[in-house]
Amino acid sequence: MNTSSPSMPDPASDDAAADAVQANAYGYPAVRLRPKVEARAIRHGFPWVYADELVTDRRTQKLAPGALAVLEDAERRPLGLVTVNTKSKIIARMLDRDPAAVIDQAWFEARLSRALAMRARLFDAPFYRLVHAEADALPGIIIDRFGDVAVIQPNAAWAEAHLDALTAALQAVTGVGTVVKNGTGRSRGLEGMAEENAVLAGAVDGPIAVPMNGATYMADVTGGQKTGLFYDQRPNHAFAARLARGAAVLDVFTHVGGFALAALAAGATSALAVDASAPALALATRGAEASGVAERFATRQGDAFDVLEKLGSEGAKFDLVICDPPAFAPAKPALEAGLRAYERLARLAAPLVAPGGYLVLCSCSHAADLHAFRNASARGIGRGGRKGQLIYTGFAGPDHPMLPQLAESGYLKSLVFRLD
């Protein structure tokens, strides 16, 4: 089983497998792996089939995006129930190892109950990522919870097709009154779906206050970036906040307050938050006010690289500098350019750190693994005229579990350096 994204297959059908889609005893059409494709990885938990690994005759091509089918190996032995989208490079996603499974509200309730049980054990308040896609056995689905509000990102065609059952199950399991659909982002484009936001149940009246790491964040769940707040950095915010006591802090790519608000809540003397988005900075300012730290909080709007260069020319120094950018390398074709961007970011940020201070560098790029990101960061620090110790390596919080067979589910890396 190939575990790296391939190019799209030739549309010509495989005559030797022209009957790959057929009626079967499970009540679903069947789709079949190509004869030379090894099924071992799928049997061991890998959840995807790439487009060049599946027989794609004319009947397979006629399946509607998000259709359900039984996946078979080349010898026609069933592997499980999958969802098929011939418009996507990920042509099939495993839904259930039982090829006779019925995907209805009860099925969703079972999956959501399992996900909720872990979050309820981990967190005292209902503010967390409830569903982390494949790692929670709901491929292509993200659900973040904000108290009585839940935001669904249906990033795969099958999720869009079953959205009513998913919404009903979500309300039944969690008791939330409001459900929002955030149908934006790169993943939907790769699935051939249009962008669309909607309130599916209940109502939303402005940004939602979210308590986290001693601070209050304001999440715009209807018009903000992604679901409105990034829960994945929670443990890394907490670690950086321990270094922020009595410190002057610079938080670049702050979004709605990011590291800055947690640092101020822990006792930072000041925090300058930088972002290109004026609406995000306005929410960050509201969060600072709600947290009671507004007098120590300031913002600067602009391109992060331009602001870092300007601060450098001004001779600015901070005890703690954090850079938490969007994904510079979201896919393998962007890897080299992305690593250069991470290196440049480190080069510009390192001179702003006071002697003995700390630099936090983060990456949420799927394509840049920890080794590559760490090396790019170290090169940038060196080219910025600094050297130091790597004292902490952080990842996403436990409400963002990783599926061991799927490296893409462990995307977040956070490095903390102490600079000489």
Q: Phi/psi of residue 227, each to 5°?
A: -85, 0
Sheet of 196-201, strand order: 127-132, 141-146, 149-154, 178-183, 196-201
Q: Is 364 among the residues known to form the active site?
A: yes
Q: Closest Cα to residue 189, out of 329, 85, 93, 276?
A: 85
Which member of 92, 288, 364, 402 is catalytic?
364
Residue 110's CB is within 10 A of a number of other CB atoms, namely: 13
CA dihedral 318, 251, 352, 381 (to 10 degrees): 130
SS3 418: strand
Under DSSP, the state recorded for 148 is T
Question: In the 8-state DSSP scheme, what is residue 15?
Answer: G
Strand segments, DSSP code E, in 147-207 are 149-154, 178-183, 196-201
Show the tokens assigned to 316: 């600015």
- What is the DSSP code string of 260-282? HHHHHHTT-SEEEEEES-HHHHH
Amino acid at 124: D
CB neighbour list of residue 149: distance below 8 Å, 6 or more residues apart: 176, 177, 178, 179, 180, 202, 204, 208, 221
Vertex 128, ends 151 and 401: CA angle to 5°? 105
Nearest to 53 by CA among 69, 74, 27, 67: 74
Secondary element (H or E) of residue 31: strand 30-32
Catalytic residues: 364
